[in-house]
Amino acid sequence: MSDPLSEIIALLQPRTVFAKRISGAGRWGVRYSDFGQPSFCAVLEGRCRLAVDGHPALTLEAGDFVLLPATPGFTISGFEPVRPERIDPKVTPAPTGEVRHGTRGGKPDVRLLGGYFVFDSPDAALPVSLLPGLIHVRGAERLSVLVQLVGAESSERKPGRDLVLKRLVEILLIEALRSTSGEDAPPGLLRGLADARLAPAMQQMHGQLARSWTMAQLAKKAALSRSAFFERFTRTVGLPPMEYLLAWRMAVAKDLLRRHDYGLGEVAERVGYGSASTFSTAFSRYVGQPPSRYARVSRTSPPLTRN
């Protein structure tokens, strides 16, 4: 059976980790501007306040883990009123040691391990849009261990470092998303996979992408009428079922065109189109350029630079 969550992580291609230790004491606060790349934080000891744009403020405690798949602006602080120091993570030099905010010296009120990574996929927008904007897991012992492994590996230059970090980040992402799945998750992939009726249909979409699915066939997999399936899928996942299927087909097609030397006919067949011309028309309409041009441009573009 296909695993949509694993497929989305594979499509995102996470890599390049930077991690740092942060501590705060007394009156302190830091305001980070919109970053856009995924970031994470684990509370090693103490407590602090986190206010992410568009989300209710949180009190973070020891053992908590936070993941922001597309980091917006946020403020992290102690609990005393303060005008936060403004930081732009895109231009601020990376620190070499622990970063201390507020009162210097002495025991901190909170100690964190925070960091970020990048998604190598140039088409990360769709997979990221299917994930919660903020993932907060309380008492996440497994995640805390993973974060500390990431921190230790990222601070050293041992042979095989990049490969180890890539695998650790993949596991970190999956573990965080597993911990968030359920009916209380926001609309998106995790909530859809937690729905006993929708999950079989979603697994079939991913597992048999080459099949010419109809709404009636997918509704049957979910044991629902067409209208009930459409309404439930749209409400739970955040996209109508056929729109979700089209978006996923185009995301996979982009990946095949960019990373593999497949002809248009083979790509078309793999993503559910009966001919290269039909696929080319659909791709051009969806992406805004023909697949042949997309493949040529994406293969000659320089790789993403490390932050």
What's the confidence (pLDDT) of residue 125? 81
Q: Compute the chain's Rg from CA coordinates.
A: 21
CATH superfamily for 4-180 is Regulatory protein AraC (2.60.120.280)
Domains 4-180 and 189-300 share a fold: no
Query: At residue 65, does pLDDT exceed 90?
Result: yes
189-300 is a CATH 3.30.420.280 domain: no
Give the integer Cα–Cα distance in Å for 79 and 215.
52
Strand partners, 65: 42, 137
Please state, rounded to an integer, the average pLDDT across all residues of the chain. Answer: 89
Q: What is the mean pLDDT of residues 245-266?
A: 90
Q: Which residue has the higher pLDDT, 122 or 215?
A: 215
Go through 293-304 and write b for each residue having 16 or more CB atoms within 10 A of its CB, e for each that does not: ebbeeeeeeeee
Give the integer Cα–Cα distance in Å for 45 and 260.
46
Give the integer Cα–Cα distance in Å for 150 and 113.
10
Q: What distances in angstroms separate CA 250 from CA 11, 38, 209, 265, 298, one per listed residue?
A: 12, 23, 11, 15, 15
Query: At residue 256, does pLDDT exceed 80?
Result: yes
Residue ranges per structural domain of the chain: 4-180, 189-300
What's the confidence (pLDDT) of residue 184? 67
Does residue 9 contact residue 170 with C-beta atoms inside 8 Å?
Answer: yes
pLDDT in tens, 66-92: 999 999 999 999 999 999 999 988 777
Q: What angle do CA 298, 300, 301 make, to 5 degrees?
A: 65
pLDDT in tens, 192-233: 988 999 999 999 999 999 999 999 999 999 999 999 999 999
Give the integer Cα–Cα distance in Å for 281 and 274.
12
What's the confidence (pLDDT) of residue 145? 87
- What is the model's pTM? 0.81
Does residue 166 contact residue 225 with C-beta atoms inside 8 Å?
Answer: no
What's the confidence (pLDDT) of residue 307? 38
Strands 99-102 and 74-77: unpaired
Give the closest residue to 191 by CA, choosing from 200, 175, 180. Answer: 180
Least confident of 90-99, 106-115, 169-178: 90-99
Give the integer Cα–Cα distance in Å for 222 and 227.
12
Give the integer Cα–Cα distance in Å for 38 and 135.
11
- Look at residue 279 and give its three-state secondary structure: helix
Give the integer Cα–Cα distance in Å for 208 and 155.
42
Q: What is the mean pLDDT of residues 45-68?
A: 95
Query: At residue 154, does pLDDT exceed 90?
Result: no
Query: At residue 306, does pLDDT exceed 50?
Result: no
pLDDT in tens, 2-37: 688 888 888 888 887 888 899 999 999 999 999 888
Q: What is the mean pLDDT of residues 32-61?
A: 94
Helix axis angle for 241-259 and 4-12, nearest 10°, is 40
| 186 — pLDDT class (breaks 50, 70, 90) | confident
Strand partners, 118: 15
Give the integer Cα–Cα distance in Å for 282 and 290.
9
Please give the full DSSP string across 70-95, using - where no structure is assigned.
T---EEEE-SS---PEEE-TTTSPPP
What's the confidence (pLDDT) of residue 181? 64
